[in-house]
Each structure stands twice: as C-alpha cells, then as structure tokens.
Amino acid sequence: MASLPALAQQASRAEPLAIQDQGSFAVGGTVVRTPGTYENNKPTAAGQSLHGDHLYAFYQVPRSPKALPIVMLHGAFQSARSWETTSDGREGFQTLFLRRGFPVYLVDQPRRGRAGNSTVGMAVEPTPYDQLFFDQFRLGKWPNYFDGVQFDRKPETLDQFFRSVTPNTGPYDAGVISNAMAALFARTGPAILFTHSQGGGPGWLTAIKNENVKAIVAFEPGSGFIFPEGELPPAMPSAAGTLSPEAVPSADFQKLTRIPIVIYYGDNFPVEPTTERGQDNWRVRLAMAKLWVAAINKHGGDARLVHLPQIGIKGNTHFPFSDLNNVEIANLVSKFLAEKKLD
Amino acid sequence: MASLPALAQQASRAEPLAIQDQGSFAVGGTVVRTPGTYENNKPTAAGQSLHGDHLYAFYQVPRSPKALPIVMLHGAFQSARSWETTSDGREGFQTLFLRRGFPVYLVDQPRRGRAGNSTVGMAVEPTPYDQLFFDQFRLGKWPNYFDGVQFDRKPETLDQFFRSVTPNTGPYDAGVISNAMAALFARTGPAILFTHSQGGGPGWLTAIKNENVKAIVAFEPGSGFIFPEGELPPAMPSAAGTLSPEAVPSADFQKLTRIPIVIYYGDNFPVEPTTERGQDNWRVRLAMAKLWVAAINKHGGDARLVHLPQIGIKGNTHFPFSDLNNVEIANLVSKFLAEKKLD
C-alpha cells in the first residue's frame, strides 16, 4: 500500500463500497476448567477457566445483499489475510465478492491468528520456510520464478507474500476446526463456503456437520481427501511425501453429494513423477482430487474439478484467488455460482 | 451477532458506510537468514530465510476522508479485535470513527494475531486466566460484577469477551513493536495514535521514533511509563506487584512534548492501597500516569489525564472504548481531536 494521497488516487478509480454492516465475533470452541477454588487476591490456575478453540470471523454485509453469504477459510500457515489485499496490493476476494453483492465472512481458524487461544499447548518455533514456500506454493523453483507465473515480481510483493505467513498456536486439528466452522454456519444460516489448501479437508467436514453449507468452492485442496469406508484409493507417494486418503462413514460421505462443489487447481503441475519436490507435491494432490470428484459423482453428487491450464488459464500459483489474474478467477467462480443459482 | 435477517434489521437502523478503499498489509519487521545453501529437493533450514516481527494492519478509508487517519494499537492478550465489534455486539471504535470520517488502521502487533511470525521462539501454554482477567480488567470481583459497571451482563457477552484473548507467539518486546509501528506511520503519513493498556508503552516509543504521530489518545496505559534519565519517580508497590518507571534519554522524552496527548482511565480505582489485587493493580498505574503527565507538561508538553468518574462518567472497565457507553467515550475523544484541530 502506498501513502494516503496515492491511496486516494487509486481508490478514485473504483466505486466506493456501500457497507450495510460490519463487525467481528468468536464462535464455537470450548471452555476448559481447572479444578479448585479461585482466590481473587492470590490467583493461580486453581478454579480458573480458559475459553479456546473457537474461530474468529470478520464479516461485511453490502447494501442490498444477495441471499447467501460467502464464508472464506484459509489454508496452512495463513489467516483470513489470504483473502484480503493481494501481495502486490490489489483487491482480494474479500472485497471483490463484496462488490459483487455477497456478504463476506473471513475466518481465522481455531489456533491461528486472532483465534489463537488453544486448549492444547504448542511450541512456536521460528522456522525458516521462505524458500520452501516459494517452491511449494509454485511461484517457481527458488530463486527463479516460473515463466509466465501469475505473480508480480517486485521484491516488495514477495516480501508481503512471505509476511502473510502466521503460525499455529496449537496443534492442527481438522475436527476442532470443522466444529467451529459448523457453529459459524449455524449462525450465518445458509451460505457458500470457499476453502484454500489445507482448509479443504475441514471444509468437507463442515458440510457434513452442517447442512447450511450450500456449496463449496475449493482452491487447491491439499489434504483431508475423505472417501467412504471400504472405498479408499491407494496412498500416493511423491517427492514430497505420501498422500493418504482418509475414511469416513458412508452416510457422512453421502452428505457431500447434496451440494454443488467445484475445485480449482492452478498451473505448473507435472504430469509424470518428478524429483522436483515443490511441484511433485501437487501432482499427487491433483490426482487424488480427481479420484475424489469421481467418487462424489459416482455416489450421485455434483462435483467438478477445473484444472485451470486445461481451460486456457495459465500461470496460476497455489493462491489463484490472489494471483495477478484473480479477477478472471473470480469471474469463473461467479459463473459457477450463477449456474447453480446461488447468487 | 445474530442471524442475517436479524443483522439486516439491526443494520437498517444505521446508515451504510461508504468505504472508498480497504485492505491489509504487513509493515516493518526483519528477515532472519540461516547460513548454508538451500536445496530445493531436500529442504532443511540451511539457506532459508524467515520474515518476521512485522505488524499486520487492516485499513479502511471512508469517502471524503478527514486528513489524519487514526491508527489503533491493542493491549496485552488482545489483537485488533479489541477495536471491532464490542463483546455485546455493538459497533466498536473501528466503525464508529469510520462513520466520523477518519481513515482507520487496526494493528495486530508483531508476534500477535495475524502478525504471528516471530524471529524468537516461544511456548504457547493454554493458561486459565478468565477469572483473573475479570478482576484485573475491572468488570468486578469474580464472580460478581461491580454495581453500575458499563458491561453487559448476558453470559454470551462475557463469552465473547473471554474469546477476544489471543496469545503472544513470541516474547513481548516494546522495541520490536514500536519499530514496526514507526514503519507503519512512515507509510500512513501524519496520523493520530490510539493505544490501549500495554500498547501505551510502545505508543510513546512510536511517537519518539516517528514524528508522523501527531497526537496520542491512550486508554488505560498500564506499563512502559518513560521518564527522562535522572528524573525517575520511585517504583510503586501494589497488591499485584511493583510498577517501575523506565528511563529514556532526555532528548527522546522531549519529543513527546511536541504533540497533544490525552489519557483516559475508567472507574473502580481504589484511592488508598487495598488487598484487592485486581483493583490495586490500577491504583498505582493511575498514580504513575499522573506523575508522567506532570513530567510531560513540566517539560513544555501538552498532556492531560482524564479520570472518567471525575467528570461524571461512571462504571467504565479497562476497555472504555468497548464499554456500554462507548459512544459517549468516542464523543469525548472527538471533542479532544476537535479542540486540537486534528479532525
């Protein structure tokens, strides 16, 4: 972001947003109580409680809102920040979809960001991951960007990208996350769920737990591919480790067949196994997602996988919703929502 | 927050906000590099870097904005969430001051919330603090509220209040925080700083480090009272521990005399020492703040301390900006800003 005069100049190009209501709240979570009696003037843990494992949501409702809000859930190492301003300073999906008339809820999942109070402890270690993220999030092969990658190459853009990372404050737990997400959907009423990466797994579980999830738009789900018991495909080894499917009761899986689902993956996926760790990681995730979509549809569902390069959209990273062509990606999503009469 | 229909009903009472621009970014911080060579396909820490110790800011610029934005810095155990929706679901200072025409920047300080990437490690322990916070933030003496306290007594309000807590992800460091804050003010240009509680200390340091801080409105500063070397008052013991002043070079202290400063404290401060830990904690902070204001003014500055009960405003907790009477508090602040020609 530039100084305020520059901001004002930039902003003058776009119409002001008319926000009917905005705010934030915590939802879900639990309360842990320590036995004993609290002594006000000699406090110890005894008799005290801890509120934790909730999620945090910031919401905005535009004037004349559409009926279904959109709830956006980030991925690993990220927060709601993922959906706000892009690393190169343009509007992200939060504001783009507000402009399109949707109430938008941005989530910090339990044990992350502003929902940091965890009921389970954890050591936060300063881990140098920048170069691994550059590779794994498919900006390129460090230190080189992929040709034609949809990521601005100014150093300050990469700096912002790296600074969007924020750590877990407790162990990752898809059950804890999806419980809080289900509580959020109880509060929003019927709504559309957008997920990114690691958020994909808790996303499916949320839709199983609360039928207010009326559709899922998943960007590059990376783990948590759930199949009906007895129908699991083999695990898939890659240069970045082995990806294993996960089993759920058939009745739960069946719940995912009630709603339209679309999955988007970006560019620079290898077709054949490769020793390039950052890319090979995604080869198996894409392959598993294809099996997952086939399983949903075999059971009567309505899922679709869009591999962007196959429809002529090239260069997307692991973050298509904040890439240079994110308006084009938003248009794709809008078209999907219109087709499914969700807008 | 209620369901969407209820929301819409509530919102219909207020005018929509016209937002010219909104977004988020990281600013300040550092990069730590691990020696060695990064191997893309066998990644270890070697040759990798970590971006950390920045702050995160979310900003909104209303249509026809006033010249000076307001930057809001939270206190201990909190995030930017402090300034958003109140625990009982009303508009907080973020939206109230947007409605009054100010661009508003909300900060998650380095090593907190969405700015969680710390260059120094830390163990996050699930610590049961609810009852201590109830006492220390002067809602009452657990489990009883103070008579006339400006805090809604519905259980769900207290639940939201407790869930606004979020832990440090690295050691608290007023220098790290004020460095990032100074970088933020370099980006915003001239602006007004609001601080809360523990944020008070880094707030003074920010104004020393960057002259774009044009005024400070400090709510219940609790620590980091800085005095010129050689002019330190004695430390002050209380039932909650001893509060010590901190020394800075005279030339630095002198910089705080260039700008108008107002400090607000709420209700239920004991006049005499007491064994009530939660309250006695604040007796000494108020006393130290009075000495601090006197020191600033003695050196030619323009500081004022408003003890709210003394002007007839009763019942405020440690969070006056989100208490039941927060519009009245906002009016006080607006009057101050007008008087100082900052609006």
Query: Which 135-194 residues of chain A touch chain B by CB within 8 A?
Result: 135, 141-142, 159-160, 162-167, 169-170, 187-189
- What whole-number distance in Å separates Cα of residue B79 and Cα of residue A115? 10
Topology of domain A19-37+46-339, per CATH? Rossmann fold (3.40.50)
- Collapsing DSSP to helix, strand or coil, A241 comes out as strand
Q: Would the CA dihedral through B73, B78, B84, B86 be positive or negative?
A: negative
pLDDT of residue A115: 98
- What whole-number distance in Å separates Cα of residue B105 and Cα of residue A26? 21
- What whole-number distance in Å separates Cα of residue A225 and Cα of residue A213? 18
Q: How many residues are given for chain B?
A: 343
- Collapsing DSSP to helix, strand or coil, B137 comes out as coil
Q: Which two tokens stand for residue B320?
A: 């006056």
Q: Which two tokens stand for residue B54?
A: 């920045």
Burial classification of residue A298, based on how many CB atoms lie within 10 Å of its CB (0-12 exposed, 13-18 middle, 19 or more buried): exposed
Provide the b/e sequence for A178-193 (b: ≥16 CB within 10 Å): bbbbbbbbebbbbbbb
Nearest Cβ partner of A52 from B33, B126, B188? B126
pLDDT of residue A339: 98
Nearest to A56 by CA among B116, B155, B238, B256: B116
Whose tokens are 């209040």? That residue is B161
What letter represents residue B1's amino acid? M
Whether the CB of A39 is below 8 Å from some CB of chain B: the reply is no
- What whole-number distance in Å separates Cα of residue A148 and Cα of residue A312? 13
Nearest to B110 by CA among B27, B3, B44: B27
**Considering only alpha carbons, which residue of chain A is nearest residue B17?**
A19
Whether the CB of B76 is below 8 Å from some CB of chain A: the reply is no
Measured between beta carbons, which residues in chain B are less than 8 angstroms from residue A173? none
What is the C-alpha end-to-end distance of chain A, expressed in Å?
A: 31
Whether the CB of A23 is below 8 Å from some CB of chain B: the reply is yes
pLDDT of residue A12: 46
Q: How many residues are given for chain A?
A: 343
pLDDT of residue B11: 44
In sequence order, the β-bridge partners of residue A260 are A302
Nearest to A75 by CA among A331, A242, A319: A319
Q: Which two tokens stand for residue A209?
A: 């737990």
B141 Ramachandran zone, left/alpha/beta (phi>0; psi -120 to 50): beta
- Collapsing DSSP to helix, strand or coil, B297 comes out as helix
Provide the b/e sequence for B182-220 (b: ≥16 CB within 10 Å): bbbbebbbbbbbbbbbbbbbbbbbbbbbbebbbbbbbbb
- What whole-number distance in Å separates Cα of residue A181 and Cα of residue A74? 12
Query: Which 271-300 residues of chain B touch chain A by CB within 8 A?
Result: 275-278
Written in H, E and C, the secondary structure of A13-47 is CCCCEEEEEEEEEEECCEEEECCCCCCCCCCCCCC
pLDDT of residue B41: 95
Q: Please name the residues in contact with B117: beta carbons below 8 A apart, sequence gap of 6 or more.
A: A126, A163, A165, A166, A167, B50, B51, B52, B53, B54, B169
- Cross-chain residue pair B131–A47, CB shorter than 8 Å: yes
- What whole-number distance in Å separates Cα of residue B42 and Cα of residue B58? 37
Nearest to A192 by CA among A298, A111, A93: A93
- Cross-chain residue pair A142–B17, CB shorter than 8 Å: no
Nearest to B265 by CA among B198, B324, B317: B317
pLDDT tens, N- to C-terminus, chain A (343 residues): 444 444 444 444 578 999 999 999 999 999 999 999 999 999 999 999 999 999 999 999 999 999 999 999 999 999 999 999 999 999 999 999 999 999 999 999 999 999 999 999 999 999 999 999 999 999 999 999 999 999 999 999 999 999 999 999 999 999 999 999 999 999 999 999 999 999 999 999 999 999 999 999 999 999 999 999 999 999 999 999 999 999 999 999 999 999 999 999 999 999 899 999 989 999 999 999 999 999 999 999 999 999 999 999 999 999 999 999 999 999 999 999 999 999 9
pLDDT of residue A128: 97
Whose tokens are 């155990």? That residue is B77
pLDDT of residue A271: 87
- What whole-number distance in Å separates Cα of residue A199 and Cα of residue A184? 15
Q: What is the pLDDT of residues A256-301, one digit of tens each?
A: 999 999 999 999 999 899 999 989 999 999 999 999 999 999 999 9
Strand A70-73 to strand A55-62: parallel, antiparallel, or no bridges (unpaired)? unpaired
Query: What ipTM goes with this model?
Result: 0.95
pLDDT of residue B12: 46
Output the CA angle B166-B168-B171, nearest 5 degrees: 165
| Domain residue ranges in chain B | 16-339
Q: What is the CATH number of domain B16-339?
A: 3.40.50.1820
Nearest to B47 by CA among B27, B29, B33: B33
Residue B136, φ and ψ in degrees, nearest 5:
-70, -30
Measured between beta carbons, which residues in chain A are less than 8 angstroms from residue B166? 113-117, 169
pLDDT of residue B13: 57
DSSP code string of A54-89: -EEEEEEEESS--SS-EEEE--TT--GGGGSS-TTS
In sequence order, the β-bridge partners of residue A306 are A264
- How many interface pairs between A and B have CB atoms less than 8 angstroms apart? 289
Split chain B (343 residues) into runs of 10 and give each run's mean pLDDT.
46 79 98 97 97 98 98 98 98 98 98 98 96 97 98 98 98 98 98 98 98 98 96 96 97 98 97 92 96 98 98 98 98 98 96
Nearest to B258 by CA among B211, B226, B223: B211
- Cross-chain residue pair A117–B142, CB shorter than 8 Å: no
Written in H, E and C, the secondary structure of A80-107 is HHHHCCCCCCCCCHHHHHHHCCCCEEEE
Strand A104-108 to strand B260-265: parallel, antiparallel, or no bridges (unpaired)? unpaired
Mutation for B interface: A12, A48, A137, most B CBs within 10 A: A48
Nearest to A81 by CA among B56, B167, B105, B21: B56
- Cross-chain residue pair B130–A10, CB shorter than 8 Å: no
Strand B246-248 to strand A104-108: parallel, antiparallel, or no bridges (unpaired)? unpaired
pLDDT of residue B9: 45
CB A76 within 8 A of CB A44: no
